[in-house]
Amino acid sequence: MENAEKFMPYQAEVDIEELSSQSEGYWKTSVRILLGNKAGMAALILLLTVMAMCIFGEYLRPFGVQEQNTALKNQSPSSVYWFGTDQLGRDLFVRVCHGGRISLEIGLIAAVTVSLIGVVYGSVSGYLGGRTDLVMMRVVEVFKGVPHLVIVILLSILLDVQGILPLLIALTISGWVNTAQIIRGQVKQIKNREFVLAARCLGIPAWKIILKHMIPNMAGMIIVTITLDIPAFIFEEAFLSFIGLGLKNPAISWGILISLGQVNLIHEPYQAAFPAIAISVTMIAFNILGNALKDAFDPKMRRQVAA
């Protein structure tokens, strides 16, 4: 036949490397983008260093956290006392490391807690929709109507914070609303996709669809939210402790150390400077890492890398 060649199977020349790049997994691509972000990797290394010092730093020195020696009070930084001593002769390096551990614990626990509440609340509101969504969003608007820090300060006064648990309650009581709104918007976009409709047709309960299908598809955004919330809660804890509404002495955190050091700010500025620098470095590093993670999980950035 004259036109037999027109009916031959078409064999396209496919670039194997192009196919392999297109079939690369979601998490693998995200990690590759993150590793290529120099600022994000520098922030990650800096954070790991700060965390290591907060965990193990106090064991590098032969001084106890509460060990006092008034004969050596207000010593300037030296080869013996790396960060100097406070007004009671306690080693500031040991106390900054120990206080950093408490501040990081509070920031991490508070961020995970508000993210958990926000994810559950926003997922239920977005998936069910209708009147349920209307009522749940009105509750969110009530919380957003009052500034978050005002609520935290009022609760700190009412709870008379003496430990970490009351402080965490004060920090997380309204901190989840922003996460809930973000997750609600994402769920509204995801719930009309094919895999969710297929799960509905199979009769899978709503809670299983949310837990097994929707939340895993929002894992990247949740990680970014937690990373950006941690420095915010570290700052709030430091602020509350500084003004006397957070943790109380003899508990140690960066905020308490700044509060104790500001008494001698003119003559011994290092007593407040070192914990203040620790807070600043940690907050900047977390924000840079959070922005790097946001780029790594951003679909637009992923398309640019794939191109």
In a domain, residue 194? The reply is yes
Q: What are the pLDDT digits (tens) for 254-267?
A: 989 998 888 888 88
In a domain, residue 279? The reply is yes
Give yes or no for residue 14 having a pLDDT over 50: no
Count of domains in the chain? 1
Here the CATH number for the domain that contains residue 161 is 1.10.3720.10
Range of the domain at 232: 30-62+77-306
In a domain, residue 3? The reply is no
In a domain, residue 19? The reply is no
Rounded to whole angstroms, how far apart are CA atoms 97 and 118? 31
Give yes or no for residue 26 having a pLDDT over 50: yes
Q: What are the pLDDT digits (tens) for 109-168?
A: 999 999 999 999 999 988 888 888 899 999 988 888 878 778 888 887 777 766 778 888
Q: What are the pLDDT digits (tens) for 206-263?
A: 888 888 888 888 888 888 889 989 999 999 888 888 888 778 878 888 989 998 888 8
User: What pLDDT sits at residue 16?
Assistant: 46
CB atoms within 10 A of CB 132: 12
In a domain, residue 72? The reply is no
In a domain, residue 241? The reply is yes
In a domain, residue 21? The reply is no
Predicted TM-score (pTM) of the model is 0.82
In a domain, residue 196? The reply is yes
